[in-house]
């Protein structure tokens, strides 16, 4: 007798019982979804420390820990097919604090994906060893799904435990970001379509998006001071005091920046605030390279814009010319009301009006030097540049580069990002 092809009567009975139970359990969540009003709590309602636990949102703040309901108005808004999965959809992070661009990216993602919550895995008290184990709920094969998103910097920074979980149990998309420039993707995944770069990227793929740090800092910090209406209307463009010629404030002393400052010092007195003091110009005199100490730095950007307001020109060259690498420097110059002297990616000319600032080409600097000399000698010419709108193409520039939610530029950039993540059919 082939015992492998027979079954005991008791076994057949238990199989039937299991089938009935399975059908019953399947019916419960369908009934719940179709007969109850669920209410979705958006990220804007809560503090940064948000956690989920299968049907509750727990919000941590300095003063209280409270529960809040979540919902979707109709079942069709559910972001997964199986109604018994956890809700709402989740953005996972693993970096403590707001450094490494995390603060700006969280701010941006909360507006692009307002129906999502954050789960901060860096708050777990363990995980520094590879054999450490994630809490059991995360090990459930159905706990994450294809619509969840894990945002992480190029440098990664997650604990070994979280990294192992991300590569072995996590089912959603991974979005890499950075404020710097990078040559390659740092990780590989089984489904490349679920790995995205939203930041500086070489040879970007269809699911990637060239996103600059300038855009993120503008959205999270500067969009009120340099609003779309200010950037498109020259009459509202900020004007500084114009007391001094030029400010150079850098602590990363890149050779071509030092050389450019030295050459510009032949046109006027340059205040050098920071570690970098400029290269001695060809005439051999450092008379116009004056060291000052105003406390300019990375932690006090608003103070920097106030300092910039005292100058006619602000030297804001990038330290490299790399794909999608544009920092906050030129934005701070515009807010300060000076004329930026800039070098970096040619992409800048599609964002900001080339007639509104000086582009200093390090390979051919003489046109820029002549332009600064003329602007400094002719106040009418200087005011003509100051009367140019800041952005290159008016409202279309706002839509293309600054529209992270529906209130700015009709949310065009928000829609583009959601499409890259496969979320176009969802209603935020």
The domain segmentation of the chain, as residue ranges, is 13-212, 224-386
Return per-residue pLDDT of the chain as tens, 428 residues.
333 334 455 455 554 445 444 443 334 333 322 332 222 223 333 223 332 332 322 223 333 223 333 333 333 334 444 554 556 789 999 988 777 678 899 999 999 999 899 999 988 877 788 788 999 999 988 899 888 999 988 777 788 999 999 989 999 999 988 766 654 555 555 667 888 989 887 777 889 999 999 999 999 999 999 999 999 999 999 999 999 999 999 989 999 999 999 999 999 999 999 899 999 999 999 999 999 987 666 567 888 899 999 999 999 999 998 888 899 999 999 999 999 999 999 999 999 999 999 999 999 999 999 999 999 999 999 999 999 999 999 999 999 999 999 999 999 999 999 999 988 766 55
Question: pTM score, two decimals?
Answer: 0.78
Homologous superfamily assigned to 224-386: Glycosyl transferase family 10, C-terminal domain (3.40.50.11660)
Spatial CA neighbour of 154 closest among 174, 180, 178 = 178
How high is the pLDDT of residue 274?
A: 86
Per-residue pLDDT at 83: 52
Residue 17: Cβ-neighbour burial (10 angstroms; 0-12, 13-18, 19+):
exposed
């Amino acid at each position: 007798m082939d015992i492998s092809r027979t079954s005991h009567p008791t076994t057949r009975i238990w199989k039937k019982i299991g089938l009935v139970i399975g059908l019953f359990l399947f019916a419960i969540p369908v009934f719940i979804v179709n007969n109850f009003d669920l209410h979705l709590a958006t990220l804007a309602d809560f503090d940064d420390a948000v956690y989920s636990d299968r049907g509750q949102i727990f919000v941590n703040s300095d003063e209280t820990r409270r529960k809040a309901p979540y919902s979707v108005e109709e079942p069709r808004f559910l972001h997964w097919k199986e109604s018994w999965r956890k809700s709402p959809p989740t953005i996972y992070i693993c970096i403590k604090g707001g450094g490494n661009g995390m603060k700006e990216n969280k701010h941006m993602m909360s507006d692009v994906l307002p129906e999502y919550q954050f789960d901060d895995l860096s708050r777990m008290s363990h995980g520094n060893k590879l054999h450490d184990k994630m809490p059991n709920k995360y090990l459930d094969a159905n706990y994450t799904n294809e619509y969840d998103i894990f945002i992480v910097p190029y440098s990664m920074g997650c604990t070994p435990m979280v990294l192992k979980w991300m590569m072995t149990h996590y089912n959603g998309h991974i979005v890499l970001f950075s404020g710097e420039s990078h040559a390659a993707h740092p990780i590989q995944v089984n489904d490349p379509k679920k790995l995205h770069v939203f930041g500086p990227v070489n040879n970007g793929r269809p699911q990637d998006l060239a996103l600059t740090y300038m855009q993120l800092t503008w959205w999270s910090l500067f969009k009120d001071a340099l609003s779309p209406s200010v950037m498109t209307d020259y009459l509202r463009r900020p004007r500084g005091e114009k007391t001094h010629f030029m400010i150079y404030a850098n602590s990363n002393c890149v050779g071509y920046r030092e050389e450019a400052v030295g050459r510009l010092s032949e046109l006027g007195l340059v205040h050098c605030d920071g570690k970098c003091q400029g290269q001695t110009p060809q005439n051999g005199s450092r008379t116009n390279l004056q060291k000052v100490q105003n406390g300019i730095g990375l932690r006090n950007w608003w103070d920097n814009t106030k300092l910039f307001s005292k100058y006619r020109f602000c030297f804001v060259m990038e330290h490299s010319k790399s794909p999608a690498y544009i920092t906050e420097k030129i934005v701070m110059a515009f807010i300060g009301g000076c004329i930026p002297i800039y070098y970096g990616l040619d992409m800048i000319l599609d964002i900001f009006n080339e007639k509104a600032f000086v582009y200093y080409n390090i390979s051919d600097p003489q046109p820029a030097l002549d332009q600064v000399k003329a602007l400094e000698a002719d106040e009418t010419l200087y005011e003509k540049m100051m009367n140019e709108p800041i952005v290159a193409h008016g409202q279309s520039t706002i839509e293309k580069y600054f529209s992270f939610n529906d209130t700015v530029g009709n949310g065009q950039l928000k829609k583009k990002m959601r499409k890259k993540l496969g979320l176009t059919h969802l209603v935020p």
